[in-house]
Structure 1
Amino acid sequence: MKREILYTLTIILLVAAAATAFVYNRNHEKPIPPLKQRQGPISTSSEWLNTKAAIEGLQYKIRRDKGDTQSKLLLALAYMQEARVTGEHPYYYPAALDLIDEVLDRKNAAPEVRYEATIAKGMIQLSLHKFKEALETGKQAQALNAKRASVYGVLCDANLELGNYNEAIKMADKMVSIRPDLMSYARISYLREIHGDLDGAIKAMELAARAGYPGLEQTSWAMYTLGGLYEKKGDLKLAALTYQQILRERPSYAFAKGGLGRLQAKQGNTREAIKLYSEAANTIPEFSFQQELARLYHKTGEHKKAKTITKELLAGFEEDQEAGHDMNLELAHAYMDLEQNYDEALTFAMKEYKKRPANIDVNKTLAAIYYHKGNYKKANSYLKKATITNSQDPGLLCLNGLVSYKLGHKAAGEKLVQHSFSLNPFMDDAIANEAKSLLRKSYSKL
C-alpha cells in the first residue's frame, strides 16, 4: 500500500514538474524582436509601409506557432535587409541571428529552410566581421547543398576577407557560373579591382547594376559601387550622373548623397560637401559619413565640431562592438585619421591582424600607422603583404612610394607617388598631402 502511494505521489510530482516546466518555458521563451520605427526620409516611402505590413504578418504567424521555422527565417531575412536600409546594425543583426539560431535548433526544420538559414547565418557573420566563423558556416551550407550560387557568395566573401584570394576567385567563378546576377557580378568586380584590373571591375559592376531592378536597395548599392569605380578612374562627371540617377530611383538612398558630397569635397567645395554629408548622416547612422564630416570640419578649422563628431563616432563603434560587431579596423582608422593617436590605432590594427594577417586592407592600415610613427622598415614589411594582389589603389601606391622614398629609394618612390596622383589627383589625406609636399620639393630642384 505504501509503495502504491509512493508511486502515485511520484507520478503526481512528475506531472507537476512537467506542467511547471511547460509554463516556465512558455513564459520565458524569447520574445519576437520588434520592428523599429524608421526615422527621417526613409520613413515616408511606400516601401516602408509594405515592409511593415510584411513583418507584422510574419510576427503574427510566429506568435500563433512558435515552431514556424519558415516565418522565422523570413523575419530574420527581413531584419537583415532593415539593417542595410536603416543602418541600425547593432539592433537588427543580433535580432536576426537569434531568429536564425532558433530555426537551426529545430531538428524538424525542412532541408531547404535549414539550408537558407545556414546561408543567412553566414551572411550575418560576414556583416559582423566574424570571417572565420562565416567560412565554417559556409562550408556547412555547402555540405547541405553544393548546387546553389548563394553558398559560394558566402565562401567567396569569407575567403576574401581572410586574405585567401586565390580561393575567393575560385568561389566567385563558381558562383557566377551557377547564377550570373547582381551579387555574383559584384564579387567578380571587386576581385578584379583588387588585382589591378579597374576597367574589368567597371564592366562587371555595370553588369551587376543592369541585373538589378531599379529602385531596390541592392540595385542602388551596385550603382553606388559603380560610381565609386568611376571616381577611381577619374571620371567625376560620370560618377555624379550615377549618384544622381540613384537618387531619382531611390530618393532616400543616403550613400548616393554621400557620394555627391565626396565629389564636392574633391572639387574643393567644402561647404557643399558638409551639407550633403550632413543630409546623408541624418538619414542613416553610417560611420563613414561621420568620419568624412569630422575630416571636413578639421579642414575648415572647426575643430570643436570635428571633436564632437569624432566622440559620437567612437561611441557608435563601442555600441557596435557590444552588439558583437568586430570594429577593430574601423577604430584603427578613426584613431589614426581623426585623432592622430597612432599608438591606440596600432592596438586595434594589431587585434585585427592577428585574426586575418593576409588581408591587404589590414596590412595597408598597419603600414600607414607605422609610417606615421616613423618606422619605415616596419611599414615596408606590411606593404609587401598589402601589395601582393597588384592593387592599383592610389592611396596604397602613394603610401608605398613615400615609404620607398624614406628608405632611400628616392627615384622609385617619386615615380610611385606621381603614378598614384595620375590615377587620383584628388587625394587629400595626411599621407597624400605629405606626398604632394615631397613632389613640390622635387620639382623646385629642377
Structure 2
Amino acid sequence: MNRVRRLLPLLGCVLLGCALLILYAPGGLLRRAEPPAVAAGWSPYDLAGSIEAAQAHLRRRPGDAAVWAGLGGMYLEQARRTSDAAYYGKAEGAFRRSLRGPTADGEPYIDAVIGMGALANARHDFAGAVAWAERARAEAPFRWSLYAVLTDAHLELGQYDQAEAALRRMLDGRPDLASFTRAARLERLHGRSGPARDLLHRACAIPGDPSEYAFCEWQLGELSWSDGDPRAALAAYDRALAADPGHAPSRAGRARAEAALGHTGQALRDYAAAVARSPSAVVEYGELLEHLGDTGAARRQYALFTAQQKLLAANGVTDDLALGTFEADHGDAGTAVRHLRAEWRRRHSVEVADALGWALHRAGHHAEAATYAARADALGGRNALFAYHRGEIEHALGHDGAAREHLARALAINPHFSPGGAKRARALLAETP
C-alpha cells in the first residue's frame, strides 16, 4: 500500500493531465475498450425507470447483448440497494443472455463477463470472481471496471498484495470514486485512518449519483465510528441521508452513533427504520435491544437474521462468515466453528481470522484461538473488536498482561465498539491485576 500512497500526490497532475490526453484522445488506448454510450432517456439516477426502459428495449430487440449486460448490472445495483437476493438470479440471467449473444466481432460481450465477476463477489464466490475478472482482463485489459472486481475479490480472499496490484492498475487508469473508496479500504486495513479519510474526501468531491455520494459519506461515517468519534460519524451519516434518505446502512450507522451518545430512543427508531428497508443491521439492532434488557424483541431480530440467511442461500449466497459470527455470539459455539472453518478454507482474510479465533475461544479452544486472533492483527489495522477478542482470549489463557494490553487498546480505539463488549472489556480491566 505504500506504493499507492506515493502515487496519490501525483494523481492530480499526472493522471488527470498527461494520462487523460494519451488515453482518451481520439485513437488513444482506452478508446478501444470503452463501454458504449448509454441510450438516450436512461438515467443512473432513476434505477427503476432505467430497468423498465432496458426491458422495453429488449422486448423489441432481444438479441442486444450490450443492453442485456447493462440490465444485469442494474439488477445487481438494485440488489445492493434493496438487499433483495432475488435480483441476483435476475442479474445472472441477464448476463448469461448477453454472453449467448456475441458482439459484431464474434466475441462475448465483455461487460457481461465483468458483470459475472461482480455477481460472484456479491454471492461470496470470490475465487469465481477472480476467474471471471481474469478472463475479462485477457480480452480487454483497459476496461477498468474489471480491476474493481479483482480488487474486491482479492481483498475478501485475504490476498492483500494481489488486491493492491489490481487497485494500482485501477488508479492508473481511472482515478474515480470507485478506485478511491477501495484505496481507502486498504488504508483502513493497515490502520492508516488519515490517508483513508483523505481518499474518501477526494471520492466524495466527485460529482455523481446521490446514492454514490451517500455511499461515500457512509464510508466516512464508518471510518469516524471505528476511530471512536461518534459525533463525526453521526455528521457523516446525516450527510449521506440528506443525499439519499433511503440509504439503510447510513440509517443503521446513525442509530449506532446515537446509542453511543446516549440518544437511545432515537437510536431504536433509526434501527427500526433501517431494518425495515434492509435486514443487514438486524443483529446489531438485536444486540442493542438485548443490552437494554428487551430480550424478546432481540430474539425477534435474531430470528429475522436466520430467515434472511435462508433466503440468501436459496439465491446462491453462502455466508459462513455471517452465520459463524452470529452463532458464536448468540447461538452454538460448535456450529460457529464449523461455519468459520469452512470459510477459512475458502479465504484467509483478517475478518475471517478474527471470527474463527473468537468462535474457537467460545468453544473452549483458547490456545488455537490465540493463533487466529494474532493473524487478525497481522496487517496492523486499528480494529477495536479484534483487540477486544484478543484480550478475552488472552484472559482465558491466564496471560493477564497481554489481556490488559489488548482490552485497553480496544477501548482506546473505540470505547463504544459494542454495547455489551465495551462493558465487558471495562469489567475485565477492573478485575485483571
TM-score (norm 1): 0.83
The one of 131, 156, 160 equivalent to 1:161 is: 156
- 8 Å CA contact 2:288–2:419 kept in 1: the answer is no
Query: RMSD over aligned Cα, in angstroms?
Result: 2.0
Distance in 2 (alpha carbons) for counterparts of 1:112 and 1:211: 34
**Higher-Rg member (1/2):** 1
C-alpha change, 1:264 and 1:53, in structure 2 (3 Å) is: closer
- SS in structure 1 of the partner of residue 368 of structure 2: helix
Deviation at 1:111, TM superposition (A): 7.4
The one of 323, 340, 343 equivalent to 1:352 is: 343
Is 1:175 the counterpart of 2:170? The answer is yes
- Residue matched to 2:331: 340
- SS in structure 1 of the partner of residue 131 of structure 2: helix
Comparing 410-419 with 273-282, which one deviates more in the overlay? 410-419
C-alpha change, 1:223 and 1:262, in structure 2 (3 Å) is: same
- 8 Å CA contact 1:131–1:162 kept in 2: the answer is yes
**Over residues 97-119 of structure 1, what are the superposed CA-to-partner deviations in whole Å (9 max), with x where a residue is unaligned?**
11101111224466797111111
- SS in structure 1 of the partner of residue 378 of structure 2: coil
- 8 Å CA contact 1:70–1:113 kept in 2: the answer is no
- Residue matched to 2:391: 401
- SS in structure 2 of the partner of residue 66 of structure 1: coil
Deviation at 1:407, TM superposition (A): 2.8
Distance in 1 (alpha carbons) for counterparts of 2:244 and 2:91: 25
- 8 Å CA contact 2:66–2:111 kept in 1: the answer is no
Q: Which consecutive segments of 4 or more residues in structure 1 shift more than 6 A? A: none
The one of 279, 291, 297 equivalent to 1:286 is: 279
1:9-408 equivalences in 2 (<5 Å): 50-88=46-84, 90-108=85-103, 114-213=109-208, 216-282=210-276, 284-288=277-281, 290-337=282-329, 339-356=330-347, 358-408=348-398
Comparing 56-65 with 404-413, which one deviates more in the overlay? 404-413
Distance in 2 (alpha carbons) for counterparts of 1:109 and 1:397: 55
Equivalent pairs counted in the alignment come to 391
C-alpha change, 1:162 and 1:48, in structure 2 (3 Å) is: closer
C-alpha change, 1:52 and 1:158, in structure 2 (3 Å) is: closer
- 8 Å CA contact 2:197–2:223 kept in 1: the answer is yes
Deviation at 1:431, TM superposition (A): 4.4
Deviation at 1:221, TM superposition (A): 0.8
- 8 Å CA contact 1:364–1:386 kept in 2: the answer is yes
- SS in structure 2 of the partner of residue 325 of structure 1: coil
- 8 Å CA contact 2:51–2:71 kept in 1: the answer is yes
- 8 Å CA contact 2:181–2:203 kept in 1: the answer is yes
Deviation at 1:190, TM superposition (A): 0.6
**Over residues 80-130 of structure 1, what are the superposed CA-to-partner deviations in whole Å (9 max), with x where a residue is unaligned?**
121122221x11111011110111122446679711111111111101101
- 8 Å CA contact 1:270–1:296 kept in 2: the answer is no
**Over residues 204-241 of structure 1, what are the superposed CA-to-partner deviations in whole Å (9 max), with x where a residue is unaligned?**
1221222242x521221111011110112222222211
Comparing 141-150 with 263-272, which one deviates more in the overlay? 263-272
Question: What are the ranges of 5 or more consecutive residues in structure 1 without an aligned counterpart?
Answer: 1-46
- SS in structure 2 of the partner of residue 211 of structure 1: coil
Distance in 2 (alpha carbons) for counterparts of 1:111 and 1:220: 40
C-alpha change, 1:155 and 1:84, in structure 2 (3 Å) is: same
C-alpha change, 1:383 and 1:49, in structure 2 (3 Å) is: closer
- Residue matched to 1:423: 413
Question: What are the ranges of 5 or more consecutive residues in structure 2 without an aligned counterpart?
Answer: 1-42
- 8 Å CA contact 1:73–1:113 kept in 2: the answer is no
Amino acid at match of 1:427: F
- SS in structure 2 of the partner of residue 205 of structure 1: helix
Comparing 319-328 with 145-154, which one deviates more in the overlay? 145-154
